[in-house]
Amino acid sequence: MHLLVTGGAGFIGSHVIRHFLGAHGDCRVTNLDSLTYAGNLANLRDVEDDDRYRFVRGDITDGEFLMQLFAETRFDGVIHLAAESHVDRSIANPTAFVQTNVLGTVNLLNAAKASWEKDFSGRLFYHVSTDEVYGSLPAGDGLFTEESPYDPHSPYSASKASSDHCVRAYHDTYGLPVVISNCSNNYGPFQFPEKLIPLFINNIQLGKPLPLYGKGENVRDWLWVEDHARAIDTIYHHGTIGETYNIGGHNEWSNISLVRLLCRIMDERLGRDEGSSEKLISFVTDRAGHDLRYAIDASKLKRELGWVPSITFEEGIRETVDWYLSNGEWLEEVTSGAYQDYYDAHYGKR
């Protein structure tokens, strides 16, 4: 089995590659990634010497390059994760999100289609997507199912929704074998510290303010990233072509409760007085178009394919904190240079 994984140098992609190489002895992986600010080969140090792994630097917005890659190599499947992934950046620069997430996905579909039509190679085009395409839920009421209508609000979620529609269109129009999964918020090691959990872990460590948007009442449904990788494996091997699967942890937290928990764990781990990290919480201007609540109904995946999360949030969040605390070099490297410019431009005004 030779897989093409796009975006494998990013947060979730690196876990997906590690998972597939670890779980399947017969698996070879080509990791295609353009190494944007979010791509980091240090996320894959432990697999880079594996003969079954190969890294190709390339950009999915380059359609010709993709056609050539698929002409040179026969892939049995594609797992597509490459994307611009941060909502705040999509508010500042929506065009980059349309280019990579929409045009890049269509380029990849074209290359997979050409290869599939030539020799029927390519068992599956697996598109990794997000629960944000479904929009926002009212506080405490309802869950997103696979039948929920699309209602994206941010340029990020609009671009992901558009890519989902394109993937379905290639199935319905050309018969390309596709599957889509829509997952809730992931957390765990190697997440870039622009996202809530690693950003706040880093700031607590440095004694910097914790910029909580609005009143901190927005709710997210958090999933351990390795459980997402395992769900992708399950769906890749046992999912039905043409179907959509929702993935989530049934693990809803308001941002304020989550940040308080994080502060308590950090006080414990850093040997600081109880309550000292909480003093860093700073309520700032809300994110524009901020979705109130996401919550996934993952019962189809459990019922049809038997997938359930493997660890509790209390375990996962402690493991995540410990990983960041013992990987200071990784954190320092990714928060130097351009990160600081982003940070100042984004949080300076707030």
22 token code pair: 């670890």
What is the C-alpha to C-alpha distance for residues 74 and 96, in angstroms, rounded to an integer? 29
Residue 53 corresponds to which amino acid?
Y
On the 0-12 / 13-18 / 19+ scale of CB atoms within 10 A, 243 is: middle
Give the shortest CB-71-to-ligand TDX separation in angstroms. Answer: 31
Give the shortest CB-293-to-ligand TDX separation in angstroms. Answer: 9
Q: For ligand NAD, which is the closer residue by CB, 59 or 297?
A: 59
Strands in 124-130's sheet, in edge-to-edge order, are: 53-57, 28-33, 2-6, 77-80, 124-130, 178-183, 244-247
* 255 in contact with ligand NAD (CB under 6 A): no
What is the C-alpha to C-alpha distance for residues 128 and 21, in angstroms, rounded to an integer? 18
Among 9, 199, 229, 334, binds ligand TDX (CB under 6 A): 199
* 36 in contact with ligand NAD (CB under 6 A): yes
Residues of the chain by 3-state class (helix, strand, coil), percent to 5: 45, 15, 35
Catalytic residue among 53, 126, 134, 156: 156
Residue 166 and residue 109 in contact, taking contact as beta carbons nearer than 8 Å: yes
Give residue for tokens 């431009």: 345
Cβ partners under 8 Å of residue 237, min gap 6: none
Q: For ligand NAD, which is the closer residue by CB, 186 or 277?
A: 186
Per rule CB under 6 A, count of chain residues that contact ligand NAD? 30
Among 162, 181, 185, 335, binds ligand TDX (CB under 6 A): 185
**DSSP for residue 154:** S
Closest CA to 293 of 85, 181, 92, 148: 148
Establish whether 156 is a catalytic residue.
yes
Give the shortest CB-15-to-ligand NAD separation in angstroms. Answer: 8
Establish whether 76 is a catalytic residue.
no
Among 171, 195, 230, 293, binds ligand TDX (CB under 6 A): 195
User: What is the footprint of ligand NAD within residues 133-172 (CB under 6 A)?
Assistant: 160
* 293 in contact with ligand TDX (CB under 6 A): no
Q: What is the enclosing helix (H) or strand (E) of 341?
A: helix 338-347
Establish whether 132 is a catalytic residue.
yes
* 73 in contact with ligand NAD (CB under 6 A): no
How many angstroms from the chain centroid is the CA of residue 278?
27
Per rule CB under 6 A, count of chain residues that contact ligand TDX? 16
Among 107, 148, 162, 218, binds ligand TDX (CB under 6 A): 218
* 220 in contact with ligand TDX (CB under 6 A): yes
Give the shortest CB-150-to-ligand NAD separation in angstroms. Answer: 15
User: What is the footprint of ligand TDX within residues 227-256 (CB under 6 A)?
Assistant: 255
131 token code pair: 């629960």
What is the C-alpha to C-alpha distance for residues 350 and 348, in angstroms, rounded to an integer? 6
Which residues are part of the catalytic machinery? 131-132, 156
Chain residues in the site for ligand NAD (CB under 6 A): 7, 9-13, 33-36, 38-39, 59-61, 81-85, 100, 104, 128-130, 160, 183, 185-186, 192
Chain residues in the site for ligand TDX (CB under 6 A): 85-87, 130, 132, 185, 195-196, 199, 211-213, 218, 220, 255, 287
